[in-house]
Chains A and B, each alone.
Chain A
Amino acid sequence: MIKYNRFVLENGLRVLVHTDKTTPIAAINVLYDVGSRDEDQERTGFAHLFEHLMFGGSANIPKYDEPLEIAGGENNAFTNSDITNYYLTLPVQNLETGFWLESDRMLSLAFTEKSLDVQRNVVSEEFRQVYLNQPYGDTWLLLRDLAYKVHPYQWPTIGKDISHIQNAKMKDVKDFFRRFYCPNNAILVVAGNVTPEQVRELAEKWFGKIPRGPENRRDIPQEPLQTEARALTVYRQVPQNAIYKAYHCCSRFDKEYYTVDLLSDALSLGNSSRLYQSLVKERNLFSEINAYITVELDNGLFIISGRVSEGISVEEADNAIAAEIDKVKGEFLSISEMVKLKNKVESRIAFSNTSVLNKAMNLAFAELMGKPNLVNKEFGKYKVVNRVDIREQANIIFRDGNCSTLYYLVEQPEMQRQKTKERMRK
């Protein structure tokens, strides 16, 4: 049980406080309601580039990290398709340092050309390190582009193309800040050995006078129903063939979410899961296989991906996945399988609440969904899912026409590069 207090400042900043008297550490989490889905398709990768710029100095503080480190703290941030999340932990007696730092960069950034220039390079290196210079590194660039034709989820958080980052202009950056980095578009969570009164006082003092910004009204084009199967084959210098299948499914908000999550667990969570037992262990068709949902605030994807064992044809491997899918569409899961899935969820939720930082993040995300008490209610929602629901969702999701399949294959030496390019253009 995570107890919390919640209040809203006049400028619209939502604040949540969780008291945990057992720890000497406090966590501050600031979530901004902006992700790569809010980007213009000609300027992708911006939300994430911006995350980097937030460390480049603010109105009154030339360097973000130094004052935090000297107060014994540490921080990081991440961006995904829906949110940009900043977090820090520090000894609780130095809590105010965190308020000073976070409020100053919400108030205004320094916006120097040097900082923009350096971070453009750093992010370009990140692009190269994670997406280009890594076997299978460009999978998500290919798969998202195949699965989405309209919705901005069609590009990954790093961006569609490295040139978008390299061409980022100071004006674009400033506009982005004014639009999204304002108190009414943010959620502040403080967790640790703190009192709600103390946090309210600090929040009023440091964040209270930051002016409200424009309302963040989204007009994101939603992805139309996919009715025809899509396929893409690419050849790369990789040691093993791989298959990725992406099916459109519900969003994190939908009531079906819990059912779909359990369906993915049945297929691949733990060594007793269906795909692992059947395709990796019994038949040895794959060296590894996974099924999971992308957990997004607009409709997400149900992914099944696997690396095909040596000597097995991709078609045979793909057919074997299809056969497993047909089973969950046709038959109910067993009763003991249902018990297992729910026990697993119970443990997973307990494990995710073992540190103040995790608790702060979970609270922030639940508040973003408009239901902070979800952190305490989630297990109940999983508990009521039954076998009929799961089979129903399997039939809704696993339709051939709803699927985008990527074959990521080993490039044969005699194969010509030109051929690869032609295939990719489709």
Chain B
Amino acid sequence: MKPDRTKAPKFGTIEDIHILKPQIIRFSNGIPVYMIHDPLSEVVKFEIVFDAGEWHQNKPLIAKTCNSLLQEGTKSHDSAEIATLIDHIGAYSGFNVDKDVASAMLLCVPHRLDQALPVFEEIVKYPTFPNRERDIFLSNAKQRHQINMQKVKFLASKEFFTLVFGNNNPYGVVANLRDFDNVTLKSLKDFHSSMYSSSQAFIILSGKITDKMIEKISAHFGEPFGQKTKATRKAEKPSDVSGNQVFIPVEGAVQSAIRIGRRMFTRNHPDFMEFQVLNTILGGYFGSRLMANIREDKGFTYGIGSSLSAFRHDGAFSIASEVGSDVCQEAIDEIYKEMEILKTKLVPASELDTVRNYMLGTILRNMDGALAVSERLKSVIVSDVTLEYFRQLAEAIKNIKPVKMRELANKYFDRKDMIEVVAGNPINKKKK
């Protein structure tokens, strides 16, 4: 058998995307429980998600501090006891806060889940936020923040989101150093009792699931808890800041961090899916135009990418890179050049084919296994869509046309709408 190396082997496009369908039940308190069962799995993941993300906080750091302190003391266990109880059964707990939601997660071998549930129930429902634990957490977080403030990418990203969403919008507010000294016990308790409530929660269970397991979980989380009123906070208008250019000087930096982008939309917007394709072409995969030009052709950077952040009430498009300080302006010019090309020239059919198959492959990869599906499921539930979204996205990807790409580029890549932030060495800043 002598293979013909000059031609690629035959390959098929992905026609059918099979998605493990979650089973849904409701506990008597109304909490929906999504279950993705894989009988061959040797692990189980339990995650309870609340509308308790940064969107819902009145001051910076409340959502994050509240979530992080859940396991640092409850009505009947102190922090060290909780740690020992969780570690002893070999479980891993995880606490996560993003812009919209906050969650508590437990990962363990299936036959030990029930041993973890009593303490996990306390963690979620009855945390006490001991002063000492709060002080330790905040002082350590403050020190991490100070380290971050020396990283050009952190500085650029912080400024970028503030400019995109504005200072009065929770998506745009980033903590400052003094905020670390202003988190009170009362604000944490208030936030917890109103947000960590059974009236605004959902549970995702994935991996190996048994009926007994569901019964046990229901015994611990099936009754009403927390305040009954649903948190409502209206989306706020961002301040009008488009067209801003900001330079943040960082003495001695050998690279500059670049952020270029704009305010966009949520997952429900009619352009959302097709814009994902345009984003992928520009900077969403290794073979993207930005990577091909700025890394693989010019060697200006180790990496460059673009992405669409979709939150529940808003969204942003951003291009991010760290480049050699001496080539920063050239890199920025090339970024705009690539956007301009998408506005004027049709994307060649072969490139669109590549992107189409790559994106379909990515959907498939992201759905590989029960635990992976649970991650995707969480993101769509937060955006008020269902897993059906991925099937629709696959359809949109399959049917995309070059003309539509050009149309979207003209609609969204207008240079005057772009916010541009650079953090880097002031010596290298080109004089205008």
Q: From residue B72, how far is it (CB to closest CB) to chain A in Å?
A: 9
Whether B42 pairs with A350 at a CB distance below 8 angstroms is: yes
Chain B minimum-CB-distance residue to A72: B361
Task: Give residues 316-340 of A contacting B (CB, 8 Å).
Answer: 336, 339-340
Whether A336 pairs with B322 at a CB distance below 8 angstroms is: no
Task: Give residues 133-170 of B contacting A (CB, 8 Å).
Answer: 136, 139-140, 143-144, 146-147, 149-152
Q: Give the distance in Å from the alpha carbon of A130 to the alpha carbon of B82 in the complex.
A: 36
Range class of the B interface residue count: 35 or more
Q: Determine if A185 is an interface residue (Cβ-Cβ < 8 Å).
A: no
Whether A239 pairs with B147 at a CB distance below 8 angstroms is: yes
Q: From residue B399, how far is it (CB to closest CB) to chain A in Å?
A: 17
| Interface stretch of the complex, out of A20-28, A211-219, A370-378 | A20-28
Whether B40 pairs with A22 at a CB distance below 8 angstroms is: yes
Whether B301 pairs with A346 at a CB distance below 8 angstroms is: no
Q: Give the distance in Å from the alpha carbon of A350 to the alpha carbon of B140 in the complex.
A: 32
Q: From residue B150, how far is it (CB to closest CB) to chain A in Å?
A: 5
The listed residue (A23, A135, A208, A353) touching B151 by CB distance below 8 A is A135
The listed residue (A90, A103, A307) touching B143 by CB distance below 8 A is A307
Q: Which residues of B contact A (CB under 8 A)?
A: 1-3, 5-6, 8-14, 18, 38, 40-43, 71, 79-80, 82-84, 86-92, 107-109, 112, 136, 139-140, 143-144, 146-147, 149-152, 252-255, 285-287, 295-302, 322-324, 353-355, 357-358, 360-362, 364-365, 368-369, 371-372
What chain B residues lie within 8 Å of A273 (beta carbons)? 87
Q: Give the distance in Å from the alpha carbon of A310 to the alpha carbon of B87 in the complex.
A: 29
Chain A minimum-CB-distance residue to B359: A72
Whether B109 pairs with A69 at a CB distance below 8 angstroms is: no
Known: A132-B254, A133-B255. A70 touches B147 (CB 8 A): no
Q: From residue A50, how far is it (CB to closest CB) to chain B in Å?
A: 16
Task: Give residues 196-215 of A contacting B (CB, 8 Å).
Answer: 204-206, 208-209
Q: Determine if A231 is an interface residue (Cβ-Cβ < 8 Å).
A: no
What chain A residues lie within 8 Å of B112 (beta carbons)? 343
What chain A residues lie within 8 Å of B82 (beta carbons)? 271
What chain A residues lie within 8 Å of B2 (beta carbons)? 209
The listed residue (B5, B79, B83, B296) touching A104 by CB distance below 8 A is B5
Chain A minimum-CB-distance residue to B6: A60
Q: Determine if A234 is an interface residue (Cβ-Cβ < 8 Å).
A: no
- On chain A, the number of residues with a Cβ less than 8 Å from chain B's Cβ atoms is 86
Whether B1 pairs with A204 at a CB distance below 8 angstroms is: yes
Q: Determine if A74 is an interface residue (Cβ-Cβ < 8 Å).
A: yes
Chain A minimum-CB-distance residue to B16: A24
Q: Which 5 A-B pairs rank lowest in CB-CB distance, beginning with the nearest?
A: A72-B361, A121-B299, A343-B90, A271-B83, A239-B146
Task: Give residues 104-154 of A contacting B (CB, 8 Å).
Answer: 104, 107, 117-126, 128-130, 132-136
Chain A minimum-CB-distance residue to B354: A70
The listed residue (B90, B140, B255, B358) touching A70 by CB distance below 8 A is B358
Whether B90 pairs with A344 at a CB distance below 8 angstroms is: yes
| Interface stretch of the complex, out of A167-175, A277-285, A290-298, A392-400 | A277-285
Report 14 cross-chain contacts, Cβ distance below 8 Å, ordered by A residue. Answer: A22-B40, A25-B365, A69-B287, A69-B358, A70-B357, A72-B360, A100-B8, A132-B254, A133-B152, A133-B322, A240-B146, A272-B86, A281-B79, A351-B43
Whether A239 pairs with B143 at a CB distance below 8 angstroms is: yes
Whether B323 pairs with A74 at a CB distance below 8 angstroms is: no
Whether B301 pairs with A284 at a CB distance below 8 angstroms is: no
The listed residue (A70, A122, A239, A287) touching B150 by CB distance below 8 A is A239
Whether A125 pairs with B301 at a CB distance below 8 angstroms is: yes
Whether B143 pairs with A240 at a CB distance below 8 angstroms is: yes
| Interface stretch of the complex, out of A34-42, A91-99, A176-184, A250-258 | A91-99
Known: A277-B80, A354-B369. A69 touches B286 (CB 8 A): yes
Chain B minimum-CB-distance residue to A100: B9
Q: Give the distance in Å from the alpha carbon of A28 to the alpha carbon of B79 in the complex.
A: 44
Whether B302 pairs with A125 at a CB distance below 8 angstroms is: yes
Q: Give the distance in Å from the alpha carbon of A97 to the alpha carbon of B361 in the complex.
A: 14
Whether A100 pairs with B3 at a CB distance below 8 angstroms is: yes
Whether B255 pairs with A23 at a CB distance below 8 angstroms is: no
The listed residue (B84, B140, B302, B365) touching A122 by CB distance below 8 A is B302
What chain B residues lie within 8 Å of A96 (beta carbons)? 9-11
Q: Determine if A222 is an interface residue (Cβ-Cβ < 8 Å).
A: no
